[in-house]
Amino acid sequence: MRVGVLTGGGDCPGLNAVIRAVVRKGVEVHGWEFVGFRNGWQGPLTGESKPLGLRDVEDILTRGGTILRSSRTNPYKVEGGVEKIKAVLADQGVDALIAIGGEDTLGVAKRLTDDGIGVVGVPKTIDNDLGATDYTFGFDTAVSIATEAIDRLHTTAESHHRALVVEVMGRHAGWIALHSGLAGGASVILVPERHFSVEQVVSWVERRFEKEYAPIIVVAEGALPEGGEEKLLTGEKDAFGHVRLGGIGTWLADEIAARTGKESRAVVLGHVQRGGTPTAYDRVLATRFGLHAVDAVADGDFGVMVALKGTDIVRVKLSEATAELKTVPVERYEEAEVFFG
What DSSP string describes 86-133?
HHHHHHTT--EEEEEESHHHHHHHHHHHHTT--EEEEEB-TT--BTTS
Q: Is 103 annotated as a binding residue?
A: yes
Per DSSP, which regions of 124-193 are E strands? 163-168, 188-190
Whether 295 is catalytic is no
Q: Is 166 annotated as a binding residue?
A: no
Q: Is 31 annotated as a binding residue?
A: no
Q: Is 200 annotated as a binding residue?
A: no
Q: Is 105 annotated as a binding residue?
A: no
**Which residues have C-beta within 8 Å of that of residue 91, sequence separation ≥ 6?**
47
Q: Is 221 annotated as a binding residue?
A: yes
Angle in degrees, CA 65, 38, 32, rounded to 5: 100
- Count each helix (H run) and each strand (E run) in the chain, helices first: 11, 13
Q: Is 147 annotated as a binding residue?
A: no
d(CA 242, CA 233): 12
104, 127, 140, 282: which is the annotated catalytic residue?
127
Within a 10 A sphere around the Cβ of 239, how many other Cβ atoms? 17
d(CA 340, CA 202): 11
Question: Please, what sign has the CA dihedral across residues 136, 170, 224, 219?
Answer: positive
Q: Is 24 annotated as a binding residue?
A: no
For strands 33-37 and 232-237, give the pairing: unpaired
Q: Is 162 annotated as a binding residue?
A: yes
Q: Is 273 annotated as a binding residue?
A: yes
Find the helix packing angle between 330-337 and 175-183, rounded to 10°.
20
Q: Is 150 annotated as a binding residue?
A: no
Q: Is 118 annotated as a binding residue?
A: no
Q: Is 55 annotated as a binding residue?
A: no
Binding residues for Mg(2+): 103
Binding residues for substrate: 125-127, 162, 169-171, 221, 265, 271-274
Catalytic machinery residues: 127
Binding residues: 10, 103, 125-127, 162, 169-171, 221, 265, 271-274
